[in-house]
Amino acid sequence: MARARRPFFCGNWKLNGSIAESLALATEVRNGVASLRDVDVAVAPSFTALHAVAKRLEDGPVTVAAQDCFWEDKGAFTGEVSAPQLLDAGCKQVILGHSERRQLLGELDAAVNLKARAALRAGLAPIICVGETLAERDAGETLGRIQAQLDGALADMTDAELARIVIAYEPVWAIGTGRNATPAQAEEVHRFIRTRVAARSAAQAGQLRILYGGSVKPDNIRALMAEENVDGGLVGGASLSADSFVRLVKEGSSV
Ligand code: PEP
């Protein structure tokens, strides 16, 4: 059965890697996926390595994502990095609203929305992360939480803008814990996300790529990708080794 959407895998390197280490990892990933045709692959190094990695990867096929951006384009905002600066550095995508930022840095849905709109303005594709905590899941609040995060992040977006975003469902309890959501748990939330977006635009919902993230590994990606609404993965730990990330991309894109 042909997939409804082209698979997309993004490696989130988080706060890891010198410039030299990032270049080495990026080069290995590029070489490892070079022969694959029916998949999009991105890596998200730290800010300091973005430009060097983007230069190294400029001939494709792997693109470069940032891990965050600010919502203003320029001005007196010490320490922030804007979406136009990321574009200038060679980025094509930016991860926004990652649960580590929400939990450790107090990032709110309204900020994720402002950042996503800034990214779109600049010509970057936002990869917007949503996901419930274990307490929310245990309390039966998963879908309500996802709905609130989604509605907050996508507020005031036009259909044309919706067409350029990617959503990543990342249950907080599965990130970096070795405990991934079951394919059925992931599919339930992915289907819910698509239905929610369909209420705004059926056309955009049909082509929206929804990635799963949370302890994705080469040996569990096939079962997740077999679900109708799982279109790829946002990968943390398993993306820090080129061998495991390339295997994961190959496994996931061949389902
Ligand atoms: C992530 O941080 O986006 C993530 C999914 O991490 P891990 O794969 O390590 O759980």
Helix (H), strand (E), coil (C) string for the chain:
CCCCCCCEEEEECCCCCCHHHHHHHHHHHHHHHCCCCCCEEEEECCHHHHHHHHHHCCCCCCEEEECCCECCCCCCCCCCCEHHHHHHHCCCEEEECCHHHHHHHCCCHHHHHHHHHHHHHHCCEEEEEECCCHHHHHCCCHHHHHHHHHHHHHCCCCHHHHCCCEEEECCHHHCCCCCCCCHHHHHHHHHHHHHHHHCCCHHHHHHCEEEEECCCCCCCHHHHHCCCCCCEEEECHHHCCHHHHHHHHHHHHCC
Which atom of ligand 1 lies nearest, measured to the CA of 239?
8
Nearest CA owner, ligand 1 atom 8: 236
Instruction: Out of 9, 103, 127, 175, give the residue to mutate to test ligand 1, the one with the largest number of ligand atoms within 8 Å of its CB.
Output: 175
Do 125 and 119 meet the contact criterion of CB atoms below 8 Å apart?
Answer: yes
Pick the residue whose CA is nearest to atom 3 on ligand 1.
Answer: 236
- The backbone torsions φ and ψ at residue 128, rounded to the nearest 5 degrees and listed phi first, read -95, 120
d(CA 231, CA 78): 37
Atom of ligand 1 nearest to the CA of 215: 10
| Ligand 1 centroid – CA 7 distance (Å) | 18
Query: What pLDDT does 193 receive?
Result: 98
What spacing in Å lies between the alpha carbon of 232 and ligand 1's midpoint? Answer: 13
CA of 67 to the centre of ligand 1 (A): 12
Other C-beta atoms lying within 10 Å of the C-beta of residue 77: 12
Looking at ligand 1, which residue's alpha carbon is closest to its atom 4?
A: 236
What is the distance in A from the centroid of ligand 1 to the CA of 130? 12
Please pick, among 100, 132, 170, 187, the residue that the annotation labels catalytic. 170
Separation CA 212–CA 189 (nearest Å): 10
- Rounded CA gap, 245 and 152, in Å? 31
Residue 138 CB neighbours (<10 A): 11
Question: What pLDDT sits at residue 26?
Answer: 98
Clarify whether 190 is annotated catalytic: no
Ligand 1 interacting residues, C-beta cut-off 6 A: 12, 170, 175-176, 213-216, 234-238
Q: Indicate the pTM of the whole model.
A: 0.97
Taking the centre of ligand 1 as the mean of its atom positions, its distance from the CA of residue 108, in whole angstroms, is 20
pLDDT one digit per residue (tens) for the chain, 255 residues? 589 999 999 999 999 999 999 999 999 999 999 999 999 999 999 999 999 999 999 999 999 999 999 999 999 999 999 999 999 999 999 999 999 999 999 999 999 999 999 999 999 999 999 999 999 999 999 999 999 999 999 999 999 999 999 999 999 999 989 888 999 999 999 999 999 999 989 999 999 999 999 999 999 999 999 999 999 999 999 999 999 999 999 999 999
